[in-house]
Structure 1
Amino acid sequence: MEGFDPVAFSERYEAREFVRLSLMRCTIHTVTARDALMLQPLFQDLMRRILKTNFGKPLASVDLGRATERSRALVEERPMTAGEIGKVLIEEWPDSRPDALGMVSRHLLAMAQVTPRGLWQRGGLARHTTLQHWLGKDLNADVTPDAMVMRYLAAFGPASVRDLQLWCGLTKLAEVVDRHRGELITFRDENGVELFDLPDAPRPDEDTPAPVRFLPEYDNVFIGYKDRARVVSDEAAEAVWLANVNYPVFTVDGFLRGTWNLDNTKGKATLSIRPFKPLPAADRAPLEEEGAALLAFHAKDADHDITWGLHGD
């Protein structure tokens, strides 16, 4: 991330080189345009199942094929939010619900979020059009999960099949890993679970120092694994919210040690650091140094302040 320029990154959304769309676990991700066309078909069945699970009852009397094509026509005429789509479709299916009808397009079409949504310090409502319309290209209909699995291991290995499946939301990926065993190296963790990695991937010694890090909500350091003990400190494991990882968190020596929040209003940016337990000065100093860099990145023209407390206070 050295020298990362968020404005230049935003410009690549506007140039349609990068795309925001629903993929792994049916949640929103940023990927390249090429990967969007390759990955989206892998998750179509998952999205269909989630639609049935979450909205099966209000959609029971809806012709999903017709609702899908009606939605396609609407969003290819102009990008729309799910709420806007639902308000139109409810006129044809008044026995359903607008929120459920609005989800038909997200789950049954390849939908891309259009700018200014996602742009650095701009944003906007989550309006969508079809991925094909946004990029002017067809989906890769013949794709298999093999390339995605190998790229997952390149990023997150050593990892188990359960880790992989939790990260992406797909099942039956053991057979994919088995197809590539000859290209992988294997390990066993403390519980005997088989782990896979690429032979030439970096695997630092367990005593290698890990710099402090401020991580966002739902960071892949958690979502990437079923077994999160590799980063979860004892005090973090006691927190009831950990299963959802719905706070920005920071790590010290590679383990969760607390939460943080950044408030940027009225020309002043304040970073609040909230450890689970009091930290020694030797740990506070690098956090303040990294925190100053975080403030400079998010609010370079504002006055900066760092405050300390305890999580839950």
Structure 2
Amino acid sequence: MPGTTLSLRALNRALLARQLLLARERIPVPDALRRLFALQAQVAKAPYIGLWSRLEGFTKNQLAGALEERDAVRATFLRATLQVLAADDYLALRASLEPALVKAMRGFMGTRAEGLDMAALAAEARALLAERPRTLGEMGEALLPAHPDRDAAALSYITLRCHLPVVQRFPGGAWSAGGQATYVTPEEWLGGPPAAAPDPGELVRRHLAAFGPATVKDVQSWSGLTGLTAVFRRLRPELRVLRSPEGTELYDLPGAPLPEEDGPVPVRFLPEYDNVLLAHQDRTRVLDPQYRSEVYRPGGRVRPVVLVDGFVGGVWGVKKEKAGRTRLTVDLFAGPGSARERDAVADEAARLLAFMTDEEGHPVDVRVRD
């Protein structure tokens, strides 16, 4: 009923269900990306690990194939960061994020963007891409002769990462691709331009489907957009209104999953910058505030985490050792309640490492803090 209060665990289970983290599903990669809406991809391997944790029988070739076949793309999207998402979602919703992309660019560039005619600069960059795909470095150098008082890095970032709709050409985003990615226009790579004037309400609905229930501030934090209160006010008659444990209004789609809060939850490993850790302003539904500084690091870094009973229970990492071995180490914040839980963490870590290295038998360490 309207106004129903959800506990923290209920919010956690809703998020896990919508993010395919309660049980792996066997669905095609483009369908999974639409369900998840997008996967962070600043680190090229991160979306592969994110999909491995969510899809039954997932292989690296499945995502690589979707990127190569142009069913998925790697492009600047949410919060002006690189994401992997379904190609049709990029075309349908990229223009919704234009204000956030421009705002992020101006904040990052500061005085380096002052006085530039952005429309003219974008037209110059588009003309250069019509000649051939270009890397960030190549674009900056090509634009510099017409703007000798600027720096090449700023010119390339302004155009290819924020102002001009572009996508990375495959093998950009591939698991083991070397070198710098090249950029092309969506007209060249996907056969058409992004939709000109999409309804921001659709962006709200997609967030609620993938990460809800949520507040207005949650959607603004996730998207980088501001001023969404009016959009929620317009959508309110079609939304379900709930409440957080603190009494804050939460919005949701009618019929969206709200699983039982006491059901079993498997151990899951998430990569750097996973959107589960970035989709809400209030992140207590997945992370105890006492561990926030362990996960969100200086410079905007977000560490890879392990979920135990649905909540962030520790961080993990891999490193190369002698004789070509790769070791995965899990640093648990506090001892899980049972040896069975610790064994589950170790077992899932071993499976993840086998996926990452394409072979079994690499060492796994699970360390529990005192």
TM-score by length of 2: 0.78
Instruction: Give the aligned partner of residue 37 of structure 1.
Output: 91
Deviations 1:237-270 (A, max 9, x none): 4638468462111121112121101235754232
Aligned counterparts of 1:59 and 1:170: Cα–Cα separation in 2: 20
Matched, 1:295 2:350: no
Instruction: Give the aligned partner of residue 304 of structure 1.
Output: 362
Q: Secondary structure at the match of 1:3?
A: coil
Match of 2:266 among 199, 211, 214: 211
Matched, 1:178 2:233: yes
Q: Secondary structure at the match of 2:302?
A: coil
Aligned counterparts of 2:156 and 2:177: Cα–Cα separation in 1: 25
Deviations 1:181-216 (A, max 9, x none): 232211111222101112212212222232211111
Aligned counterparts of 1:300 and 1:38: Cα–Cα separation in 2: 36
Aligned counterparts of 1:67 and 1:193: Cα–Cα separation in 2: 44
Instruction: Give the aligned partner of residue 216 of structure 2.
Output: 161
Write out aligned runs for 1:1-313 (5 A): 1-106=55-160, 107-233=162-288, 235-237=290-292, 239=294, 241=296, 244=300, 246-263=302-319, 267-279=324-336, 280-301=338-359, 303-309=361-367
Letter in 2 for 1:298: M
Letter in 2 for 1:273: V
CA gap 1:61/1:94 in 2 versus in 1, 3 angstroms? farther
Give the C-alpha shift of residue 272 in structure 1. 0.7
List gaps (5 residues or longer) in structure 1. none
Give the C-alpha shift of residue 306 in structure 1. 0.5
Deviations 1:253-296 (A, max 9, x none): 11212110123575423211111234452321100111122122
Q: Secondary structure at the match of 2:362?
A: strand
Residue-pair matches, total? 312
Instruction: Give the aligned partner of residue 44 of structure 2.
Output: none
Q: Secondary structure at the match of 1:90?
A: helix
Q: Is the 8 A contact 2:315 2:332 kept in 1?
A: yes
Q: Is the 8 A contact 1:167 1:223 kept in 2?
A: yes
Q: Secondary structure at the match of 2:363?
A: strand
TM-score by length of 1: 0.91
Aligned counterparts of 2:301 and 2:136: Cα–Cα separation in 1: 26
Give the C-alpha shift of residue 310 in structure 1. 5.5
Tell me which of the two structures has the higher relative contact order, counting C-alpha pairs closer than 8 angstroms and 6 or more residues apart: 2
Which piece of structure 1 moves more, 197-206 or 54-63?
54-63
Give the C-alpha shift of residue 36 in structure 1. 1.2
Q: Secondary structure at the match of 1:57?
A: helix
Letter in 2 for 1:15: E
Q: Percent identity at matched positions?
A: 37
Give the C-alpha shift of residue 155 in structure 1. 1.4
Q: Is the 8 A contact 2:295 2:315 kept in 1?
A: no
CA gap 1:192/1:11 in 2 versus in 1, 3 angstroms? same
Q: Is the 8 A contact 2:346 2:366 kept in 1?
A: no
Q: Which structure's residues are more often helix, by fraction?
A: 2
Which piece of structure 1 moves more, 30-39 or 64-73?
64-73
CA gap 1:172/1:64 in 2 versus in 1, 3 angstroms? closer
